[in-house]
Amino acid sequence: MSKVINRFNREEFDRVIDTLSNSTKLNRDFIYDAYSLTSDAIQQISDSNMLNGTPVVNPLEVIYYCVGEYIYSVGYKTPEEIAALRTNEEFMTSMAGVIADKYLSLSMFNHAERKIANRYLPPTSSLNIYLNFILNILQNYRKNDPMSTLLTDLLMKSVSIARSILTLLVSGYETEAFSVWRTLHECECALVVLEKYGAPIINRYLIHMQYGIVFKNNDQTNEHGNKIFADMKNEMQALNLKSKDIKKYIEYGWLYDVPGVKEDSEFKLNFRDGLERIAELSQYNARYELSSETVHVTPMLIYSNKEYFYFITLLSLYESFFRLEKVFVSLFSQRVSPEQMQQYMELRKVYYSQLVNIHKREMNNFRHWQEKNKVKK
């Protein structure tokens, strides 16, 4: 017979439940019964030798699955209904079987991609701690009020996206991470332009946000919405734009207020010849176009090379981060408390130069990999 799996007694179980934010809303007796039955099911599977040995069971994780199953499948019911289900042997056995399946399948037999990135190595861990620090500062500021917090909101979203790219990389999803970098690049281009030209362009951007809301909601029937739509049409006429250009004008028309754009014959209402160009980041257009190949169902997506997309994503992420960090310092150096700024400068002193060196080293590694594998640069 196999060894007995690790399991918590009722006292240990209650201590775990006490740590949960919603512990007062949980029926502990019900969940403990489910946990006990689930542990019995896992023990039976182990005894049957189906797992080729005794699994190393994490009781905490099993309890969390029990809590999740309870909240979603039972917690919304009345106390009387919950009490009836607790005495329903068939229901409880079935629920325990489902929880055991989920735990064993997603712990012992969980599919994992081959990973190139490692969360503990400096290329990811050093950048991650920097992004985390910036997010912790940004979360203390007002947000979600576009009239006054647009730059803060866009910066926080950009840094959050950057962190999600790291998460995808360390999970072995390189092409998916590169697809998300495409969105990050769009965000950083807008952020660079808005921060550079300030209030007049920010205000114009906000007007186009209103245009987008009215257009999306087809809100042209009431007086306010009709006026906004009429203003937009008049602006388009003055710029010799047609009705077919309305979506492009909503998305990129705010750029016409950037000094010199109206006189620029090469400006177009799109990302490449509009926003990216005005942000002076056209050198990334080839990467942006490549990322589009991984967004759609193309051979590039299906048969992508993991190593190539690891390097191109990591390098692109670092370069975007350097620009985001510059905007962060510009925007918040005068707004944070002296203590926060001192903390930030201490962090910068330790990690920023390291990140610059990591970028150089990974760039060299990428070149060597390209030469070794005869990949076009």
Residue 186 has pLDDT above 90, yes or no: yes
Q: What percent of the chain has pLDDT over 90?
A: 69
C-alpha 49 chain-centroid distance: 40
Phi/psi-derived region of residue 53, left when phi > 0, alpha when psi is between -120 and 50, beta in every other case: left
Around Cβ 142, how many Cβ atoms within 10 Å? 9
Q: Taking the alpha carbons of 108, 110, 116, 118 in that order, is the dihedral positive or negative?
A: negative
DSSP SS3 for 167: helix
Note the pLDDT of residue 23. Answer: 85
The predicted model gives 240-249 an average pLDDT of 94
Residue 1 has pLDDT above 60, yes or no: no
Residue 240 has pLDDT above 60, yes or no: yes
Is 56 exposed, middle or buried, given 0-12, 13-18 or 19+ CB atoms closer than 10 A? exposed
- What's the Rg (C-alpha) of the chain? 27
155 within 8 A of 327, measured Cβ to Cβ: yes
Residue 54 has pLDDT above 70, yes or no: no
Note the pLDDT of residue 36. Answer: 96
Lookup result for tokens 């079935």: 94
The predicted model gives 118-147 an average pLDDT of 90
Around Cβ 176, how many Cβ atoms within 10 Å? 20
What is the tens place of the pLDDT at every residue in 157-166?
A: 999 999 999 9
Greatest CA span in the chain, whole angstroms? 84
Around Cβ 216, how many Cβ atoms within 10 Å? 10
What is the tens place of the pLDDT at every residue in 76-99?
A: 999 999 999 999 999 999 999 999
- List % helix, strand, coil for the chain (3-state, nearest 5): 75, 0, 25
Note the pLDDT of residue 46. Answer: 83
- HEC-encoded secondary structure of 265-334: CCCCCCHHHHHHHHCCCHHHHHHHHHHHHHHCCCHHHHCCCHHHHHHHHHHHHHHHHHHHHHHHHHHHCC
Residue 208 has pLDDT above 90, yes or no: yes
Which of 141-150, 195-204, 243-252, 360-369 shows the lowest mean pLDDT across its residues? 141-150
113 within 8 A of 60, measured Cβ to Cβ: no
Give the residue, 335 or 43, on which the prediction is more confident: 43
- pLDDT band per the 50, 70, 90 thresholds, residue 306: very high
- Angstrom distance (rounded) from CA 125 to CA 133: 12
What is the tens place of the pLDDT at every residue in 270-288?
A: 999 999 999 999 999 999 9
CA distances from 158 to 87, 143, 235 (A): 50, 14, 30
